Amino acid sequence: MNSNPFIGLESFFINIVFFVIAVAICTAILQALISKKSKVVNAKKRKHREYVRAMNYRRDGVVGNVKKEQEEEMLLKLKKGLEGKEKTYAEELIRHGGAYVAKSQMMSKSEQGVYKILEKAYGDKYYIFCQVRVVDIVQPNITKYQTWTKEYKSLFWQVSQWHFDYVMCNKDDFSIFCALELDDPSHEREDRKRRDRILNSVCEDAGVALKRMRLNHEDKKVEVIA
């Protein structure tokens, strides 16, 4: 029987050392993982900021201190990076099913009411289309601004997400008779007022007749207000 009391004490200290080393290793691994995740998150945030800034350049036609070549290079990288990943992610969601649902109606009740009134009054002479993209009716002047130049892109992106409520076309040749906007209470918001001012100027510049209407719910009549 070993009666040396230091053997047990030595074993105890060895276990303590191994425990401390194990804790240090685990802590280092955990810190490395946290640091890596933080770098990934920061990189995504940085790319997102660059993407937003680049989209603002494209929308507003503002290059600032960024040279055109640098801007195009940045947009190309972002297109291959962020947009590609988003597209892949969306495709993955679609593949699993249940990603989209159909809207119950194409138009609001007010828009439906106005459409029926327009169809009854003008349907024999004009085709009436609803929710038509502005860029399907007007486009940047390519005789003045070459396609996809800074000026062209700025003009295009300004109206690319906007729609006319209705567009009336002649039945014989589908030429545009006029565009119609239904001004409901949402048009009283400041952002909509700005949008309406710009759209009025766009149509006037392009030579497209734009009429603004309001639905009188009591009489069920459409009032032209501008």
CA atoms within 13 A on the CB side of 225: 12
Report the SS3 class of residue 146: coil
- The pLDDT score that the predictor gives to residue 64 is 42
CATH of domain 109-224: 3.90.1570
Contacts of 131 by beta carbon, 8 Å cutoff, 6+ apart: 106, 107, 163, 164, 165
> Helix 190-206 vs helix 150-159: angle between axes, to the nearest 10 degrees?
120
Q: Whole-model pTM?
A: 0.59
The DSSP letter of residue 104 is S
- The pLDDT score that the predictor gives to residue 163 is 96
Q: Which of 173, 175, 179, 172 is nearest to 129 (CA)?
A: 179
- The pLDDT score that the predictor gives to residue 119 is 94
- The pLDDT score that the predictor gives to residue 124 is 95
- The pLDDT score that the predictor gives to residue 89 is 83
Between the alpha carbon of residue 100 and those of residues 9, 85, 94, 159, the distances in Å are 68, 19, 8, 26
- The strand pairing partners of 167, in sequence order, are 129, 179
- The pLDDT score that the predictor gives to residue 122 is 94
- The pLDDT score that the predictor gives to residue 63 is 42
pLDDT, tens digit only, all 226 positions of the chain:
555 555 566 676 677 777 778 888 888 888 888 877 777 667 766 766 666 665 555 444 444 444 555 556 666 665 555 555 556 788 888 989 999 999 999 888 888 989 999 999 999 999 999 999 999 999 999 999 998 899 999 999 999 999 999 999 999 999 999 999 998 777 788 988 999 999 999 999 999 999 999 877 666 677 776 5
- The strand pairing partners of 180, in sequence order, are 166, 211
Query: Listing from the earlier edge strand, what are the strands of the sheet with 163-170?
Result: 126-133, 163-170, 176-182, 210-216, 221-224
